[in-house]
Amino acid sequence: MKDSLRDRSKPRSRQMNRNPQPLFQPKQHDLPSINLQPMKTQIQLPILLLLLLQIACKQEVTDPLSTTYSPERSLKEAADFPVGLATQTWMLDMPQYSEILDTEFNSLTAEYEMKQNITHAGDGSYDWSATDQLLAYARDRDIRVHGHALLWHQAIAPWLEQFQGTDEAFADHVRTYIQEAVRRHADDVTSWDVVNEAFDDKGIWRNSLFLQRMGEDYVAQCFQWANEADSSVLLFYNDYGMIWDEDKLNAMLAMIDDFRNRGIAIHGVGLQMHIAYNWPNISHIQRAVDALVERDLLIHFSEVDIRVNPNGNRDHFTEKMAIDQQQRVEEIVHLYQSIPAHLQFGITFWGLRDTDSWLLGFWGNPDWPLLFDEQYRYKLAHKGFVEAL
């Protein structure tokens, strides 16, 4: 099923209902009828005005989706690049979820089920059941699958984490895993995040178990092993922070330049894009994108979510937040559009509904970071995406 990214015909997208009933009807805020008999005394008028003012205040927009938004185009119809979704296999069985997935997206990333702590958890044995389920779903719908992630310090198989053998034997287990994962899925997985988050927040090598046991060249080794297993699979480095931390960006660029000088295959970079409606400045994101374009690397906005409650001080989603998010999505997609077409690997959202987002548990605050609300209703953020194209 693998084909070159640029010439794949867009998968058949189910015909969008061009005039869909909005997925919700805005609540009708009916003002109570008021008997407007001419006031006889001065005192009643101020009371009436106060009453009207009170009613008007109570009519504050409580439903930020009160602006009726009926999408004209799906994300994948609007975009000339793949539009992806991070998913979990149990969600694929939910009819409303899969209906939207099939309509809006043409690329999938496993949010956690293709990581080593899931696929290789038993001492040496593999469990690809969730991976196979996701691949079958994607295959039936001509949806691309991006593999995430062969190596991540937060998802090491427990038996490998506790491995007491020599460093050489440890490295051999890593090589065996990488090559098994890449070879087994050569026909179904277009690309892999080979290593995720190898740099720490200061832009130096993260002191992970991989660094401790394999040394600073471990990332290069992993890319070489993956390329040996399948020379046609696209190999990515994936991380956060390069879009706001120049030290981290420069460290990653130095690594990539070293790979290129050594003839080590690397095809693209995943900029995770866990951002907020007001941060980081678009110029910092542009700086990272420009550096990758200079190096002719595929660019994946790989884990997009857009916090609208970054300070954790909001307890409900307002229309202003919805519009701020819409404008931020538009800004990000505009920037992505400026990337040369042959380097546009795609934009992947890290979850479908606001309530599916990892952010809620991670920060412990309410937030509404994605394109759909808890009831699968289209948010203005979706409008921001399609109207940027």
* Residues in contact with ligand G3I by the rule CB under 6 A: 88, 111-112, 115, 154-155, 196, 272, 303, 358
With respect to ligand G3I, which residue has the nearer C-beta, 63 or 303?
303
Q: Where are the alpha helices (DSSP H) in the chain?
A: 44-58, 75-78, 95-104, 116-119, 129-140, 158-161, 167-184, 209-214, 218-229, 246-262, 282-294, 319-337, 358-363, 380-387
Q: Least separation, in Å, of the C-beta of 331 and ligand G3I?
A: 22
Residue 346 backbone class (left: φ over 0; alpha: ψ -120 to 50; beta: rest): left
With respect to ligand G3I, which residue has the nearer C-beta, 112 or 205?
112
With respect to ligand G3I, which residue has the nearer C-beta, 23 or 110?
110
Q: Least separation, in Å, of the C-beta of 300 and ligand G3I?
A: 12
With respect to ligand G3I, which residue has the nearer C-beta, 88 or 355?
88
Q: Least separation, in Å, of the C-beta of 36 and ligand G3I?
A: 56
Residues in contact with 348: Cβ distance below 8 Å, sequence separation at least 6, in sequence order: 83, 84, 85, 86, 107, 109, 146, 300, 301, 302, 303, 304
Neighbours of 145 (CB within 10 A): 25
Q: Least separation, in Å, of the C-beta of 264 and ligand G3I?
A: 23
Q: Return the SS3 of 153.
A: coil
Q: Least separation, in Å, of the C-beta of 278 and ligand G3I?
A: 21
Phi, psi at 170, each rounded to 5°: -60, -50
With respect to ligand G3I, which residue has the nearer C-beta, 11 or 280?
280
357 CB-side CA count, 13 A = 28
With respect to ligand G3I, which residue has the nearer C-beta, 65 or 306?
306
Q: Least separation, in Å, of the C-beta of 220 and ligand G3I?
A: 21
Note the Cα 134 to chain centre separation in Å.
Answer: 17
